[in-house]
Amino acid sequence: MDLANPVPVVIPSPLPLAATWADQRDALADLRGSLRDMVSNSPLTDAATYVKHLEAAYRSA
């Protein structure tokens, strides 16, 4: 492994985003209240469909 020229990784600071949300308490409360439904309705939690698509991808590879 050549470490002489590593690829720089820039991770943006979360502080500006945190400061923005700190001034929007009502919106943040609404977001917190809706996260459970958002996640449960997300395609990421539909295991059967995910596996079906994953198996199809394996077959076509």
Q: What is the DSSP string of 15-41?
A: HHHHHHHHT-HHHHHHHHHHHHHHHHT
Q: Can you give the pLDDT at residue 5?
A: 65
Q: Can you give the pLDDT at residue 59?
A: 96
> For the chain, what are the domain ranges?
25-60
pLDDT in tens, 8-51: 677 788 899 889 889 999 999 999 999 999 999 888 899 999 99
